[in-house]
Structure 1
Amino acid sequence: MFLRQSEKTAIIYKNEVVSYNLLLKTITQYSTLFDESKTTKIAIYLENRPEWVYAFYSGMMTSSILVPIDFMLPSDDVAYILNDCTPEVIFYSNETEARVNEALSLTNHIILKINVDEINLGQISCETRDLASYNDDDVFSIIYTSGTTGKPKGVMLTFANIESNIYGTTKYVEIYKERSRTLVLLPLHHILPLGGTVLMPLYVGGTIVFSPSLLSEDVIFTLQNHKINIIVSVPRFYSLIRKGIKEKIDANKIASILFKIAEKRKSRNFSRKVFKKVHEKFGGEIETFVCGGAKLDENVARDFQTLGFEVLEGYGMTETSPMITFTRPGRVKIGSPGEIFPGMEVKFEDGEILTRGTNLMKGYYNKIAETNEAVVDGWLHTGDLGHLDEDGFLFVTGRKKELIVLSNGKNITPEEVELKLLAVDEITEEVGVYMEKDQLFAIIYPNSVKAKAAEITDLYEYYRWEVISKYNEKSPSYRRISNFIIIDEPLPRTRLSKLKRFLLPEIGKGNAIKKEKKEADLNFEEYKIIKDFLIKEKEKEVFPSDHFEMDLALDSLDKITFLSFLSSTFGVELYEEHLVKYNTVEQMSIFIKEHKTKINIETIDWKAIFKETVNLNLPKSWITLNLFKNWFRLIFMLYFKIKAEGLEKLPNGPFIIAPNHQSFFDGLFVTIFIKNKVMKQTYFYAKKKHLGNKFLNFIANKNNVIVVDINNDLKMSLQKMAAVLKSGKNMIIFPEGTRSVNGELGDYKKTFAILSSELNIPIIPVAIGGAYKALPKGSLIPRPFKKICVRFLEPINPEGHSYDSLTNEVYSKVASELKC
């Protein structure tokens, strides 16, 4: 019943087209490669390709139990499976040969090896035969679970289980049709892609099309050239696709408006017309996206619906082969994996989902105790929490085993917390949450490309205030994150993208796992010099795998200092792009070792850097400079209770004014009190990204604003500021670099101290108090009649100071005068 004879195309792989007749013939040829009478189980350990299908169905032709193995598994895990279920035959490929040989050396029984890359079908002559007959209760396959909580268990699925799933998706709900073309994308050792992209489409006489790889260009080429109708994949796949589409839509104003209109209209036909180009990108023939393996983010599902695609989400387990619930076409309910699958029943005990029916496994292979623990009185305890709504749609709320129970009795579903954290910003790629000592901890994996585009120079501070703090503000006390770490590689997941939560506490131990990396392998001078420099600069331990931004928190100034040190010490011309490409201590050390022209340790010479010629035409003061200043003074004096003191302490120029930064208006709060004559000699700097058109650049050029690109070229930015000061003018520099998120004084960057020290120019500390209460970060409308104090403090001369001591003295002076 599983295959038919015809000349219709069954399989497409690259330029290879296989008809159903040729498929049956090839399967028959494969079945002659082993002794049918001595074979009860066949293992398959190779990558997705037509040979995988031939090997699998050759087992069905010879009444053998199929054991698919993840071709990415290491040899010791493969050996575990082979020893557990003892197959007599294993199909493998050139790609997996070395691991097969290593695995077999760890097994205690003889297994016939068949390398599919060495099979010569032209030398195998035989009559095509049908697949073997079977009883419903016969074991069809042993599928090993992915092992998110430890060693995998072999799930015994029967022919009745598989038939039930096929019936439900081809007869009861007609997802698969004879004309359907289904993309084979996910690894076939999982029951979801095995059933959804091989067994079901081939059963109805459809065509399956293998994507040559998971690379986006291969997937898109396959979709467009073979007019795919059905894609079966996991939430992560759909999230990545949606992210790429949404970024392009958001970057186009017209597309963005159309998206909002489509969102409100909720018309699939309208959306398919409006976003015709998006549909054409998928080949223009997509009818159904099938999603399983984990919960689909509701925003992803909603956006696909807005684009005119229907995502049919299902819920199940390997133990239910896999369907428990499935979404019927035309009955999508966002957030739900659908209604109960035909032949299945669902009930709940203490919130846990229990199920039984025709899809339920026969048991775990050789594990009676584990089977009895999972299946009680015929009901499978899924370990998932959820409920049915009034329409019979299932909603899964979390994992029972993953439920975090605090000492106060409160229950937390980590996935809910993670989804809320992900919704706070667009920079976070992944987040995992776990409990330790009755507190919630978060492990964050950011998108470094987006972080750079957003000009985030201190990831830790960004996440502390812009993500964790904002999440905590809106969460009850027992759901708040107590601490977090940032990592530079994705969270551990199974091949179907399920998070391996049991590994999170290990990762969270100060990133202890990666910190223990062997330094013995880096026993060369370049590494030692670089490590010593970073230890001195950051005053912390440095490890080979430390990421310059995420672990060592190098800010823009640190990067310039580091690159200048590397260039002068090793004779290699370096730019910030090198820090992106070689972003760990180990990678940079190896790069320097291979490209150095000398080794001569030198300190950073800022004086020489400031002497370099800079192409800078100083902006000319227009009459508008003081007009604006005086106009804002009048407005602010009426709107706020603002006062200033210490103006008499301003010396003759040049000097650096260094105010703290509490609000958007701080620059004006300082300048409105400065005399017109002094104001003409005083300059601001503005980031290039804030002056996006010619008009704003024109205004800046007439009002004492120099344009700098601090994040991408700090060296040039500092040279421009130095040029202003050397010409006898004054500069206003905010040492914190950004506005305070809570009104407290932030860390001072030492940029202003370097300029002061190297040019021997005094610093005027300015303490601004009350501005945060008048206009906190994130607020749009200032609060009227708030008291604001602006204090110009005694000038501080740089003589006798290091950069750090000068920075600290200015910080202390301002900190002591903030009260208003």
Structure 2
Amino acid sequence: MLRGSILHIKDFKKAALIYRGREISYAETISLVNRFASCYRLNEGDRTAVFAENRPEWIYAYLSVWRNGGISVPIDYLAPADEVSYILNDCRPSVVFCSHKTKEVLTEAVNSLKGDYRPEILIFEELSLPENAPDKIVAEPDKHETATIIYTSGTTGSPKGVMLTHDNIMANIEDVVDHTKIFTADDRLLAILPFHHIFPLMGTIMATLYCGATLVILEKISSEEILGALKQYGITIIIGVPRLYRLFHKGMIDKINASPAAKVLLKISRALKQPALGRLIFKKAQQAFGGHIKYFISGGAKLDERVGGDLYAMGFEVLEGFGMTEAAPMITFTKPGQVRIGSPGTPTSQTEVRIEDGEILARGRNIMKGYYNKPEDTAAILKDGWLHTGDQGYLDKKNRLFITGRKKEIIVLSSGKNINPEEIENRILSLSPLIKEIGVYPREEKLGAVIHPDFLAVKKQQVVNLRETIKWLVLDKFNLTVPGYKKIHHFTLVNDELPKTRLGKLKRFLLPQMDARTAETHRLRPDPDTQEYRALKTYLEKALDQKVYPDQHLEYDLGLDSLGKIELDLFLEKNYGIKLEDQESVAHHTVEALSLLMAEQKKTGPAETSDWHSTLQEKAEFTMPQSRFMQCTMKLATAPLFKLYFHLQGQGQQNLPPGPFILAPNHQSFLDGIFLSILLPNRILKDTFFLAAGKHIKTPINRFYANHSNLLVMDINRDLKSTLQQAAAAIRQGKNLAIFPEGARSRDGHLSEFKKTFAILSRELQVPVVPVAISGAYASVPIGRKLPKPGKVSLKFLPAIYPGQMDYDQITSQTRQAIAENI
């Protein structure tokens, strides 16, 4: 290739490409480019589009356009017909290359074009190439003439055609080959990303052919194919997006986490920040990638710092860059040996960078001419030669760039608060492997989120109630650590991946539509005309008090919680003779799918109602605590201190009826159980037990305490049915139970929704409920505070509520109302 041009490929006397196991030499590549060019003619400045999957013919076709004096236009081979039609209408190419795989979509797009315009279509598999063609070009273009028009993927709307000149392209190539020498003739690269995008186009094709390296093209992209090619061909450089490296990282970190020794070694390696040591320690990880990797090159989006840090600690040098199509694409890049986790490096040798009002601006040889046919959009982003990137960041003393957010994606609430959604998303992703993707967006002046769970992790961890688990163990955990305006107030679980560009950038503007469409799409599905579906729909609509549609997910869409699932299981068992295992419940997760299972496995004709009474009469195997001396010791030790520190007072102990009964307090702090124990008379306390989740009683000390106190350890979240049966057995033994109906501590001091678990026990066993109103505890021990503040805490034992013939909802409602009126 000539300096200042990309029109001439040099014959390096070696393999330029490898495809389907066959080596294609530089000489053959040059010949094929010329032969492709001889198949069509262009006038100067005519456009030619390439619409096909990654394959050698894509490269021949793309480079042949410049031989004919034209402008190349790559199109995403997965683009739908309407998007292809939009691009064709916008730039009007004279010729379009395609393959058999893309022919059908292209035909549909061409048929929808406006007016008389119709491009010539050349299909790779049907081309008749001459045996030889001259190695020449129509005319040497000026280096400032447009070489290619690349349509942006559009994270905020319709794509725009970015006009890049021959000099724009050479600016970045010279930087990575001649200036920093990242690419050399000895390298072998693996083509993973689609060629149509500027990042792989420049890094995978242009820089490779310019320096004399070899490019391996995969026919199929899968983890097996990638790992096989890395080993078979001795790949030295991988060009990928953060999503790819996140997958690499997950595979390795899962194995490391399974070994305590490996976890310690990774921690040490991270602290030392010596990649050579990491390569030695994690030699097996290196060998898994073929053992020849020099660099992982990352671009297209910001690399997660945890991923980058762990890969670096394992000896992989991740060279992260920052840029955009409009900069061809690099603006900053990490030089070898200068990795700084969290930074995409320093400006390229061809680029100036400055920060203006927090926004990153760039200018240099690599900056585009403008948007094709869009002068207003061009003027908005190019001002006095400076490209306004729309990204926010800062430069440190070593001129390294740090990205803090995307200007267009910053959420601005009416309160004036600015929120970087990516920061929130990364924090939440780091909290749990149950979330595969999350997108945060503004919703009614608060933050909402669309979440795509990692179903493999859900299955591995045997999560029964996914929505409740994510709500309390992930989102609530996050919300406790951030100010109010950053809290997630609403979330939707979805089965499909979130909308993204081809390089993995989130299309945030589609999230509200995705949330709304989830509900709207359900309404379009007709109801199946079967007796089982009608019976199931009637049951669910009555139980949940909402409309039900066939493709709704029982948990994600209908919000069926643990108790609701048990009642559904009882309905199926009593009316259809079906007993569902947990795995079956996961497999048949929509209303329609469950109705099909009902039709397939039913053993009896439909009856009328499910029966909690008989369920609670079933024998439950569990052991009562051996003794309760720890309970007495705890009360003696804490009562004087708590009464003094919290001015603890109790009222209404005379309302406590003869046992057994259920205490139903509101939940304001982690000390509520102790407050309750101190204020209960000893004669009642000795027969009163508190339900405790098994996940909190794991250590030997905790187990010893539980076995010698008034705690009943049960697997409340994983097996609520057994929990209720065990609780019923304790009541039948004459024991009182303390159950917090809210299920979790109040997040703001106000009453939350009451779950009806306690009401089921009360109604079916005919034992009274004593509402307990706790006041002042939240002010002394607000959520997130470890050390209590002095204050005034009071507990009121309210008149007992006798179930009689009331239903569960009535008992629940009366209990909540009584407490609400007394706090």
TM-score range normalised by the length of the shorter chain = 0.7 to 0.9
Structure 2 residue corresponding to 1:205, chosen from 209, 212, 224: 212
Structure 1 residue corresponding to 2:633, chosen from 622, 631, 634: 631
1:329 aligns with 2:322: no
Instruction: Give 1:745 shift.
Output: 3.5
Determine the C-alpha separation between the residues in 1 that align with 2:299 and 2:70. Answer: 28
Q: Is the 8 A contact 1:402 1:414 kept in 2?
A: yes
Determine the C-alpha separation between the residues in 2 that align with 1:359 and 1:797. Answer: 79
1:718 aligns with 2:720: no
Determine the C-alpha separation between the residues in 2 that align with 1:707 and 1:412. Answer: 42
Determine the C-alpha separation between the residues in 1 that align with 2:687 and 2:488. Answer: 48
Q: Is the 8 A contact 2:164 2:328 kept in 1?
A: yes
Determine the C-alpha separation between the residues in 1 that align with 2:450 and 2:10. Answer: 50
Letter in 1 for 2:347: I
TM-score (norm 1): 0.86
Q: Is the 8 A contact 2:528 2:550 kept in 1?
A: no
Q: Is the 8 A contact 1:155 1:364 kept in 2?
A: yes
Q: Give the match for residue 151 of structure 2.
A: 144
Q: Is the 8 A contact 1:44 1:92 kept in 2?
A: yes
Change (3 A) 1:388 1:98: same
Task: Give the secondary structure class of the aligned counterpart of 1:290.
Answer: strand
1:228-263 residue CA offsets vs partner (Å, 9 max, x unmatched): 322222233334444554455455443333333233
Determine the C-alpha separation between the residues in 2 that align with 1:352 and 1:321. Answer: 19
1:240-299 residue CA offsets vs partner (Å, 9 max, x unmatched): 444554455455443333333233322222233333333333333222122222233344
Structure 1 residue corresponding to 2:131, chosen from 121, 126, 129: 126
Structure 2 residue corresponding to 1:809, chosen from 809, 814, 818: 814
Instruction: Give 1:768 shift.
Output: 4.3
Determine the C-alpha separation between the residues in 1 that align with 2:785 and 2:363. Answer: 54
Q: Give the match for residue 169 of structure 2.
A: 162
Q: Give the match for residue 606 of structure 1.
A: 612
Structure 1 residue corresponding to 2:274, chosen from 267, 272, 279: 267
Q: Is the 8 A contact 2:630 2:708 kept in 1?
A: no
Q: Give the match for residue 553 of structure 1.
A: 559
Task: Give the secondary structure class of the aligned counterpart of 1:491.
Answer: coil
Determine the C-alpha separation between the residues in 2 that align with 1:248 and 1:780. Answer: 35
Change (3 A) 1:364 1:735: closer
Change (3 A) 1:604 1:50: farther
Q: Give the match for residue 227 of structure 2.
A: 220
- Out of 732-741 and 173-182, give the one that drifted further: 732-741
- Out of 173-182 and 236-245, give the one that drifted further: 236-245
Determine the C-alpha separation between the residues in 2 that align with 1:316 and 1:548. Answer: 43
Q: Is the 8 A contact 2:630 2:705 kept in 1?
A: no
Determine the C-alpha separation between the residues in 2 that align with 1:370 and 1:740. Answer: 50
Determine the C-alpha separation between the residues in 2 that align with 1:748 and 1:57. Answer: 67
Gaps of 5+ in 1: 474-478
Determine the C-alpha separation between the residues in 2 that align with 1:695 and 1:409. Answer: 49
Task: Give the secondary structure class of the aligned counterpart of 1:640.
Answer: helix
Determine the C-alpha separation between the residues in 2 that align with 1:102 and 1:529. Answer: 44
Q: Is the 8 A contact 1:422 1:431 kept in 2?
A: yes
Determine the C-alpha separation between the residues in 1 that align with 2:686 and 2:635. Answer: 16
- Out of 651-660 and 165-174, give the one that drifted further: 651-660
Instruction: Give 1:635 shift.
Output: 0.9
What aligned pairs does 1:785-796 form with structure 2 within 5 A after superposition?
Answer: 788-796=793-801
Change (3 A) 1:222 1:720: farther
What aligned pairs does 1:697-712 form with structure 2 within 5 A after superposition?
Answer: 700=706, 707-712=713-718
Letter in 2 for 1:467: F
Task: Give the secondary structure class of the aligned counterpart of 1:87.
Answer: coil
Task: Give the secondary structure class of the aligned counterpart of 1:95.
Answer: helix
Gaps of 5+ in 2: 2-7
What aligned pairs does 1:638-653 form with structure 2 within 5 A after superposition?
Answer: 638-641=640-643, 642=648, 650-653=656-659
Change (3 A) 1:131 1:304: farther
Task: Give the secondary structure class of the aligned counterpart of 2:100.
Answer: coil
Letter in 2 for 1:738: A
Q: Is the 8 A contact 2:160 2:372 kept in 1?
A: yes
- Out of 12-21 and 592-601, give the one that drifted further: 592-601
Determine the C-alpha separation between the residues in 1 that align with 2:622 and 2:380. Answer: 78
Q: Give the match for residue 524 of structure 1.
A: 529
1:297 aligns with 2:304: yes
Determine the C-alpha separation between the residues in 1 that align with 2:67 and 2:478. Answer: 56
Q: Is the 8 A contact 2:527 2:549 kept in 1?
A: no
Q: Give the match for residue 478 of structure 2.
A: 467
Q: Give the match for residue 4 of structure 2.
A: none
Q: Is the 8 A contact 2:332 2:348 kept in 1?
A: yes
Determine the C-alpha separation between the residues in 2 that align with 1:753 and 1:288. Answer: 62
Task: Give the secondary structure class of the aligned counterpart of 2:664.
Answer: strand
Instruction: Give 1:456 shift.
Output: 5.8
Q: Give the match for residue 754 of structure 1.
A: 760
Instruction: Give 1:169 shift.
Output: 0.6
1:109 aligns with 2:105: no
Change (3 A) 1:250 1:420: same
Change (3 A) 1:533 1:375: same
Instruction: Give 1:597 shift.
Output: 6.7
What aligned pairs does 1:765-776 form with structure 2 within 5 A after superposition?
Answer: 765-772=771-778, 775-776=781-782
- Out of 803-812 and 709-718, give the one that drifted further: 709-718
Give me the CA root mean square deviation: 3.8
Task: Give the secondary structure class of the aligned counterpart of 2:483.
Answer: helix
1:391 aligns with 2:411: no
Q: Give the match for residue 43 of structure 1.
A: 49
What aligned pairs does 1:208-287 form with structure 2 within 5 A after superposition?
Answer: 208-246=215-253, 248-250=255-257, 252-287=259-294
1:95 aligns with 2:97: no
Q: Is the 8 A contact 2:354 2:360 kept in 1?
A: yes
- Out of 168-177 and 648-657, give the one that drifted further: 648-657
Change (3 A) 1:587 1:102: farther
Task: Give the secondary structure class of the aligned counterpart of 1:521.
Answer: coil
Determine the C-alpha separation between the residues in 2 that align with 1:238 and 1:86. Answer: 37
Instruction: Give 1:663 shift.
Output: 3.7
Instruction: Give 1:708 shift.
Output: 3.3
Change (3 A) 1:597 1:191: farther
Change (3 A) 1:223 1:723: farther
- Out of 315-324 and 188-197, give the one that drifted further: 315-324
Task: Give the secondary structure class of the aligned counterpart of 2:169.
Answer: helix
Change (3 A) 1:505 1:270: same
Instruction: Give 1:12 shift.
Output: 3.4
Change (3 A) 1:617 1:425: closer
Change (3 A) 1:708 1:118: farther
1:456-499 residue CA offsets vs partner (Å, 9 max, x unmatched): 653556677433454225xxxxx545853424244322112223
Letter in 2 for 1:293: G
Change (3 A) 1:781 1:227: farther
Instruction: Give 1:193 shift.
Output: 0.8
1:689-725 residue CA offsets vs partner (Å, 9 max, x unmatched): 3444788667756667555333332223322333333
Determine the C-alpha separation between the residues in 1 that align with 2:366 and 2:486. Answer: 40
Determine the C-alpha separation between the residues in 1 that align with 2:218 and 2:708. Answer: 59
Change (3 A) 1:506 1:708: same
Q: Is the 8 A contact 1:249 1:256 kept in 2?
A: yes
Structure 2 residue corresponding to 1:74, chosen from 80, 83, 88: 80
Determine the C-alpha separation between the residues in 2 that align with 1:87 and 1:706. Answer: 74
Determine the C-alpha separation between the residues in 2 that align with 1:468 and 1:562. Answer: 32
Change (3 A) 1:816 1:214: farther
Q: Is the 8 A contact 1:460 1:550 kept in 2?
A: no
Instruction: Give 1:70 shift.
Output: 0.7
1:213-242 residue CA offsets vs partner (Å, 9 max, x unmatched): 444343333334433322222233334444
Letter in 2 for 1:126: E
Q: Is the 8 A contact 2:42 2:94 kept in 1?
A: no
Instruction: Give 1:332 shift.
Output: 3.0
1:428-464 residue CA offsets vs partner (Å, 9 max, x unmatched): 5545455577x34333425365678476653556677
Task: Give the secondary structure class of the aligned counterpart of 1:196.
Answer: helix
Instruction: Give 1:36 shift.
Output: 3.9
Determine the C-alpha separation between the residues in 2 that align with 1:694 and 1:441. Answer: 41
Q: Is the 8 A contact 1:442 1:485 kept in 2?
A: yes
Q: Is the 8 A contact 2:42 2:69 kept in 1?
A: no
Q: Is the 8 A contact 1:431 1:442 kept in 2?
A: no
